[in-house]
Amino acid sequence: MDLEPLLYYTFLVGGEILAISALLHMIATRRSPSSMIAWMLAIFVFPYIAVPFYFLFGHRKLIKRYQKFTFSLKPIETRTEAKTHPVEKLLVNDGIPPATENNRLEIISSPSHLYDTLSNSIKYAEHSIDICVYQLEYDKTTEKLIDALGKRASEGVRVRLLLDSIGSVKLYLLRSPLKELERCGAEVRFFMPFLSLPFRNFINLRNHRKIYLFDDTKVLTGGMNLSEAYLSRTPEKVVYEDFLCSIEGEASHFYAQIFAMDWAFAANSEPQLAPPPKGDFGSASIQVIPSGPDTPTEALVEALLSLIYTASSHIRIATPYFVPNEEFMQALVIALHRDVKVTVIVPEHSDHKISDIGRGSYLRELHSKGGDILLHRGKVLHAKAILFDDSCASIGSVNFDNRSLYYNFEAVSFLYSNHEIANVRRWIDSIASNSVPYTPAENIIVSHTENFMRILSPLV
């Protein structure tokens, strides 16, 4: 019996079965049309590679049986009634607690200032230090911070360090730099460890939140990871242009809740929540919004879309990666047609070449519709901030791309108070001043490659 035809038809039928099973799963989980098209294209071309990748990487939400508790933020009783912005009402209806006004917020963008702030916050913490970060690189800069954490743990301060197992893969695979920290009494956990039951842990879903919490009262948050590329005192070693926001007050309690639930998920325990902070901190109006596979609603996506559709004068977006889906692109194009000025600031070259190629068709389309596209020169822009009409500003860990908006665990703050919004505007102005206008590629090969990458962008 000739085995070649049998093997051929077995291979062919096997590929069809794999493709159909993936398609049925997409329909059952109500995937977006653009996502389905991208996956089906990949499956059609490489069925025996794409299908396993789909079932390993294609999930957007955690399966309930793997969650011991429902992720939700508990509101707090506040002594002041925050000014109501239309998007705040939308978020409240989506289960997000309303904004609080008893806060103080400072934007810190200088690497040396950031290092000093982190170092002093560790040094003077009285009860607890909780850190959740996507990427921790062990180098000369972070070695000192880790030593400082170990010292505080040995002095009786509760120290917990939560790292993403993909973002901090070197420390996940080679944990010796963290052993002394654990011997001092600190606790270290890795979020969704990919070597532990990978088919159950959905390694595509990563914790991209940055939360540096001290005594459940002060939090540093934004887009900054922990390495000398962000924090070095030697300017030549600093690679990224980024910032952290220092928040003291009632808003920090919501970051404490997010950390508590992330920690409980990683430690397979129940979340333990501290009481809200007491005292007079300031007048910053802040609403904290988590997003990701653990949240029951798409509150952040709905809020951003609403803000784009209702903006009346300008939208300014600073992001390292600009690879949105068609829903967001349509909203931005409609804003331009309504004579809203749309400005997008991205790095001239980011640290992800695929993202740079993937953004091309989106930037070209916005540019053709009258949008202002600026390419930031110098250090790689890694910070994330969006300004809407000088009435609301978004800052945090979320990038303006499909992965960050729909797959990653993220946390952002919406700012509604004039002083804080003005500070974000000044920071964006400083970034724009070191940028050059975007010029679309005229090379037909480049433009066609960018267009093809747009089809695959839901997978990036």
Give the residue extent of every domain in the chain: 3-58, 65-85+97-287, 299-459
Predicted structure pTM score: 0.87
- How many Cβ atoms sit within 10 Å of the Cβ of residue 86? 11
Which residue type is seen at 252?
A: S
Q: Are 100 and 250 in contact (CB under 8 A)?
A: yes
Asked if the domains at 65-85+97-287 and 299-459 fall in one CATH topology, the answer is yes
**Does residue 263 contact residue 162 with C-beta atoms inside 8 Å?**
yes
Nearest C-alpha neighbor of 163 from the set 194, 188, 139: 188
Intervals of the chain under pLDDT 70: 1-70, 79-83, 197-202, 444, 446-460
Domain 299-459 top-level CATH class: alpha beta
Supply the CATH classification number for the domain 65-85+97-287: 3.30.870.10
Residue 118 and residue 220 in contact, taking contact as beta carbons nearer than 8 Å: yes
Q: Residue 184's closest CA among 217, 146, 240?
A: 146
Count CB-CB contacts under 10 A for residue 152.
22
- What is the C-alpha separation between 107 and 414, in angstroms, rounded? 14
| Residues 260-282 as b or e (16 or more Cβ within 10 Å = b) | bbbbbbbeeeebeebebbeeebb
Residue 1: predicted pLDDT: 46
pLDDT confidence of residue 65: 43
Contact, 153 vs 181, CB < 8 A?
Answer: yes
- Take residue 278 and report the two structure tokens written for it: 């007491």
Q: Would you say 248 and 104 are in contact if contact means Cβ atoms under 8 Å apart?
A: yes
Euclidean distance between the first and final Cα of the chain, in Å?
A: 45
Phi and psi at residue 48, to the nearest 5° = -80, -10
